[in-house]
Amino acid sequence: MDYQEFLRSKSMKVVECGFASDEINPMLFPFQRDITKWALKKGKAAIFAGCGLGKTPIQLEWSKKVCLQTDGNVLILAPLAVANQTLQEGKKFGIEATICESPADIKPGINITNYEKLQKFDVSEFVGIVLDESSILKSYDGKTRTAIINAFVDTPYKLACTATPSPNDYAELGNHAEFLGIMKRTEMLATFFVHDSKPGQHHPDQKCGEEKWRLKGHAVKAFWQWVASWAVMMQKPSDLGYEDNGFVLPELRFHQVTTKSTSPYARTIQERVKTRSGNVAEKVEMLASVINSNLKV
């Protein structure tokens, strides 16, 4: 073994604990199918993909494959307003799921519930867990964050999906790694970071919880290689070498529509607040007229 081989042997590697699956839903786009395959093989992975890139069908297909592979059940935790959207998205892709208000609602296969209801369920009944909008883990010392991480320590298959991870928010990345069972946040900090005792003197201070940390200069490349071994990040398909066809949004254009107010001139903050709230009916009427006339504003 030469020195380069020795160094490579010391590099951090995430052990894959999943399985190979070639038969992925053909309704998914190529990049979505490949991400699903990758996440299934990893067994425990994170998908940090921008809005509109299809995280919901990816996580549903991932869940379906885990159910088929293990003959077990998967739980998807989602924000209150997202559960029904996930159910409807599943119908579009031919994937059945069940919304659960309580353990009595659980059915074989994919089950969806809200984060607020997690305490009602025996998580040992599930072989897989999906966190939809997983940035809920962002809080370093939040009770919800801790409860989620502790609840699924022994769950074999894990997937975290969000469109809003902050690449320079090391607390969020560390919490995702800890949830997935890759590495504890404290171990991540000790391995790749140094604590800044004098904030402001280094290239931009990074806030992790209530303390400030920065990547060790020699560890920058190793850190991102490590993150890339368990997470995929993208804002558009071409970030990973795929075609952007169908995913390039039109230019966002703003048009100002002004409504008249009958209130006297507002001088103080309180008067301005009162004027804005008193003008709601006129604003709603103007908005309705714009929509009904199908004007492009």
- The domains of the chain are located at 28-240, 250-297
Range 28-240: architecture per CATH: 3-Layer(aba) Sandwich (3.40)
Tens digit of pLDDT at every position of the chain (297 positions):
776 665 555 556 667 889 999 899 999 999 999 999 999 999 999 999 998 999 999 999 999 999 999 999 999 999 988 999 999 999 999 999 999 999 999 999 999 999 999 999 999 999 999 999 998 888 656 788 899 999 999 999 999 999 876 656 788 899 999 999 999 988 998 899 888 765 444 444 444 444 577 888 888 999 999 999 999 999 999 999 999 988 887 888 887 888 777 666 777 888 877 777 777 888 888 888 888 886 554
pTM confidence score: 0.79
Phi/psi at 128 (nearest 5 deg)? -140, 150
Predicted pLDDT of residue 162: 93
Which H/E stretch holds residue 75? strand 73-78
- Supply the pLDDT for residue 81: 85
